[in-house]
Amino acid sequence: MLVKLAVLFSGNGSNLENLLKNLHQKSFGENRFEVVLCLCNKRDALGIKRAARFGLESVILEHQNFASREEFDRALVGEIEKSGADLTILAGFMRILGPVFTRRIRAINLHPSLLPLFKGANAIKESFESDMKVAGVSVHWVSEALDGGEIIAQKAFEREGLDFDEFEATIHALEHEILPQSVVKIFERGLSNHRGAGR
């Protein structure tokens, strides 16, 4: 089966590049994966250049050009549906998405904490400053609740003795492991078997 993926990003694009290296035009079991849409909401994001190295031109949808959050979400849904993507991956996409998006699009999100702890944009800092003995990353289905959808996969590490830079580097290394693995696993099990996958 050819699995078509859309990847949404806002900045550096390291997770986008990781997905392109590990999944784009590669086969796992009976499934072959292809990234059919790279979409960014910031015109100067480094991730656009990363995608271009793989011959992929990114679609730019700058949220400030839309009159409302709903109007932006509608444009986003339109681009994803036009691409024919089977799954949308939020890889550092720094926008809160509302029902206009979540009720139409099957999407997963990569989050740099062990959910349900430390939701939101400051997860790495809050996790580091907590008294937790472990930290980690999560992949979850996107729902209307911020970082609140069904958890697909998590990886944890013991954080004793790490300074902040080492802690952050470990988070990013785990992100690069867990995201491609999660996408492959979703399609091994069959997309329709997931509670979070209803369109």
Task: Quote the CA–CA distance of 115 and 108 in Å, as a whole number.
Answer: 14
Active-site position among 24, 111, 140, 176: 111
User: Counting beta carbons within 10 angstroms of the beta carbon of residue 57, is it exposed (0 to 12), middle (13 to 18) or buried (19 or more)?
Assistant: exposed
To the nearest 10°, report the CA torsion of 124, 129, 130, 136. 30
Query: What are the tokens at 22?
Result: 């590990």
Cβ–Cβ < 8 Å for 46, 75: no
Indicate if 63 belongs to the active site. Answer: no
3-class SS letters over 165-196 = HHHHHHHHHHHHHHHHHHHHHHHHHCHHHCHH
Torsional sign, CA 184, 73, 111, 197: negative
Residue 22 parent element (H or E): helix 14-22
Q: What residues are annotated to the active site?
A: 111
